[in-house]
Amino acid sequence: MATEPKLEIDALFAELTALACISEAKPPVVTRVVFSEADLRARAYVKGLCADAGLAVHEDAIGNTFARWQGAMPELAPVGTGSHIDAIPNAGSYDGTVGVLGGLEAIRALQRAGFRPRRSIELVIFTAEEPTRFGIGCLGSRMMGHVLTPAAALALRDKQGNGLEELRSQAGFAGALETVALPAGRFHQFVELHIEQGPLLEQEGIDLGLVTHIAAPASLRINIEGEGGHAGGKLMPGRKDALAAAAELILALESAAKSTGAIDTVGTVGVCEVFPGAVNSIPSRVRLETDVRDTDGARRDSVLDALHGACADVAQRRGVTITTELVNADPPAFCDPAILAAMEASAAEAGRSAKRMVSRAYHDSLFMTRIAPVAMLFIPCRGGVSHRPDEYASPEWIAGGVDVLARTLAKLTG
Ligand code: GLV
Ligand code: MN
Ligand code: MN
């Protein structure tokens, strides 16, 4: 007979709320940038909960955290679950955290039910899924999956010029970065629970999304060097206004993303830093950070090509210098049919509706596919809202996700 997980959803919801209060901003606004004081306090809180559940906790050289529930056959590779607890500025309470605390609750619900896994179950809390500090997303899982080399990681700096090495050691993480990459087979399988971050499940009244593939993200950093000067004294002819050039590029990206005609193509400029940033001074320098995604990698690349073309055109017409730096351009990832089938069977067993769908957001799972078979389970979030303080997932939605995650983990490890 299938294991019936014994969930304590009120306690889980209280933990999610407590975690959301560990923030650099005033609750309910969540800001938890990697290696900040809030990030370290949040890690300590979650590690404490893991220890209370009897899990053996260890951390790697970049701060990826592993909490293991030892199975009856510890020599077998574990099944992993988990997500991230860092949060972008002005974020909400559920992105990533539902996969971490929900993953922990899935383990506890199986423990309460008297289940004894054959394979160990390992909860993973990934370092810096969000690109806020270092400009690149999924730092921990990217290194774990051999996609970012230690040398490339050591070259990362935050906006204040602090290097990764200095920041990780201040945060208490040491050891050779080479040890972060894990061999294929270290995890038997990996399942990530996450909020959908889109509106479809709620709109369609469906409890769960079974993710079949994860869209391909890319990020291009653009530096524009123009010529500053007095906003009154310097006349319009012959100006080399870096921000006016940036404005053209922002619109060029929007138009390139729309022009593919595919609903899956999206392009965003989320960062625009202007120097010197004075109302009476012509901008001499601008830095843009762009985000381009698609379920089709080649179509995504065609948008990047169009953006590069626009850079060359704007530089030539406006007499500014434009340099670009491709931060990342990752291929899409595909979920494992066997785990999808186990999730589908678990949803049916739990009496929860489910549909297969694509993840338009990226996740640590994207990089875990490099070393293990992976799948993702989505729950609805109100209005599809995410990366905003009003992000919300109801206790009932969360309970559905944790219940099916627990049943899936039981099937994969029993
Ligand atoms: C993850 O946070 C993303 O931006 O998709
Ligand atoms: Mn996020
Ligand atoms: Mn997330």
Q: Residue 200: phi, psi to the nearest 5?
A: -65, -45
| Whether residue 130 has its Cβ less than 6 Å from ligand 1 | yes
In this structure, what token pair is assigned to residue 138? 């999924």
Among residues 173, 185, 192, the alpha carbon closest in space to that of 97 is found at: 192
pTM: 0.95
Residue 197, phi-psi category: left (phi > 0), alpha (psi -120 to 50), beta (remainder): left
Tell the burial category of 335 from Cβ atoms under 10 Å away from its Cβ (0-12, 13-18, 19+).
Answer: buried
Q: What is the DSSP string of 348-395?
A: HHHT--EEEEEE-S--THHHHTTTS-EEEEEE--GGG--SSTT----H
Q: Which ligand is nearest to the CA of 87?
A: 2
User: Which residues fall within 8 angstroms of residue 49, CB to CB, at 6 or more apart?
Assistant: 15, 101, 104
Q: What single DSSP character describes residue 205? A: T
Least distant ligand from the CA of 291: 1
Element spanning 223, H or E: strand 216-225
Report pLDDT for 9.
Answer: 98
Q: Which amino acid is it at 124?
A: V
128: left (phi over 0), alpha (psi -120 to 50) or beta: left
Across 380-398, b (16+ Cβ under 10 Å) vs e yields bbbebbbbebebbbeeebb
Q: What is the DSSP letter of 215?
A: -
Low-confidence residues of the chain: pLDDT under 50: none
Which protein residues have a CB closer than 5 Å to ligand 3 (ion)? 95-96
Residue with tokens 């619900």: 109
Let me know if 261 is exposed, middle or buried by CB neighbors in 10 A (0-12, 13-18, 19+): exposed
**Ligand 1 lined by 361 (C-beta under 6 Å):** yes
One DSSP character per residue, 83-146 reads EE--EEEEE-S-TTHHHHHHHHHHHHHHHHTT---SS-EEEEEES--S-TTTS-S-HHHHHHTT
The DSSP secondary-structure symbol of 79 reads E
Query: Which of 83, 84, 130, 214 is the pocket-test mutation for ligand 1 (most atoms within 8 Å of CB)?
Result: 130
Q: What is the predicted pLDDT for the residue at 131?
A: 97
What CA–CA distance (Å, rounded) separates 376 from 105? 17
Structure tokens at 373: 């078979």
CA of 326 to the centre of ligand 3 (A): 22
Q: Which residue has the tokens 């949060």?
A: 87
Q: Whose CA is nearest to atom 5 of ligand 1?
A: 361
CB atoms within 10 A of CB 35: 26
Residue with tokens 């909400």: 92
Which ligand number lies closest to the CA of residue 126? 3
Q: What is the pLDDT at residue 2?
A: 84
Cα of 387 vs centre of ligand 3, distance in Å, is 9
Substitution site in 138, 363, 366, 367 for ligand 1 pocket (most atoms within 8 Å of beta carbon): 363
Look at residue 11 in the predicted model and tell me its pLDDT: 98
